[in-house]
A and B are shown apart, each in its own frame.
Chain A
Amino acid sequence: RKEVEQDPGPFNVPEGATVAFNCTYSNSASQSFFWYRQDCRKEPKLLMSVYSSGNEDGRFTAQLNRASQYISLLIRDSKLSDSATYLCVVIMNRDDKIIFGKGTRLHILP
């Protein structure tokens, strides 16, 4: 099993809809989790951290499920500008590892 896995998509979603995708991780020693977004031919940018208690920032909600070893990202009322690739990041401090998922491509359709 890969250390961090994401559905590559693409997810084609109409504007205004709600979309959610997950990221699974294999190592239970994983300690910190983040979502980044990367636009085409651009650098990754931090979207939000993922806390054990969940984290909400406007239309975006991130959650962590340690028992099932996955994190999720929910986008409500999607906008055209949400079209991007969403990368999950898992950090294992004990093993000095930072692992990026391969990303999920999201296309918001007008």
Chain B
Amino acid sequence: DTAVSQTPKYLVTQMGNDKSIKCEQNLGHDTMYWYKQDSKKFLKIMFSYNNKELIINETVPNRFSPKSPDKAHLNLHINSLELGDSAVYFCASSQEGSLAGTQYFGPGTRLLVL
């Protein structure tokens, strides 16, 4: 049973395209997150949603738009992809409030922009 799942696992696309990454958690958690891990392995939070409400919105380009149709899903849509967007994107969820250290991560989506 997968607790936090992401699709697709790999995504290769051209610059300028628009793409979406989906995330679902079956843990009943209220809070979900998106992280970006770059080539230097630096893991940085992008967004946090608590019960479908945006809580954390770090300084990311507005080409990135999270969407939470319900508390079990947090999708990430990226417009006009750029080379620098190539990274691994992790979704995570937590049971506690908006800032929780006990997080469960999805397997990651490896995005390569050509």
How far, in angstroms, from A51 to B105 measured CA to CA in the complex? 22
Residues on the B chain within 8 Å of A97, using CB: 99
Total contacting residues, chain B, CB less than 8 A: 23
Can you name the residue of chain B whose Cβ is closest to the Cβ of A100?
B43
Contact partners of B55 in chain A: CB under 8 A:
96
Q: Answer whether residue A10 sits at the interface, using C-beta atoms and an 8 A cutoff.
A: no
A-B pairs under 8 A by CB, number: 50
Is A33 in contact with B44, judged by CB distance below 8 angstroms? no
State whether B90 touches A44 (Cβ < 8 A): yes
Say yes or no: is A29 at the interface (Cβ < 8 Å to chain B). Answer: no
Given contacts A96-B55, A98-B45, A102-B42, contact A34 B101 (CB under 8 A): yes
Given A42-B107, A43-B90, does the pair A98, B41 have CB atoms closer than 8 Å?
no
Is B105 a contact of A45 with CB atoms below 8 Å? Answer: yes
Cα distance A12–B106 when bound, in Å? 29
Q: Are B41 and A43 in contact (CB under 8 A)?
A: no
Q: Which of A34, A42, A99 contacts B102 (CB 8 A)?
A: A34
Q: B102 and A49: CB pair below 8 A?
A: yes
Find out whether the CB atom of A89 lies under 8 angstroms from the CB atom of B101.
Answer: yes
Q: In the complex, are the beta carbons of A102 and B56 less than 8 A apart?
A: no
Given A49-B101, A91-B99 in contact, is the A100-B44 Cβ separation under 8 Å?
Answer: yes
Q: List 27 A-B contacts (CB under 8 A).
A: A32-B99, A34-B101, A34-B102, A42-B107, A43-B106, A43-B108, A44-B43, A44-B90, A44-B105, A45-B105, A46-B102, A49-B101, A49-B102, A85-B41, A87-B43, A96-B55, A96-B98, A98-B99, A98-B101, A100-B35, A100-B42, A100-B43, A100-B44, A100-B45, A102-B41, A102-B42, A103-B41
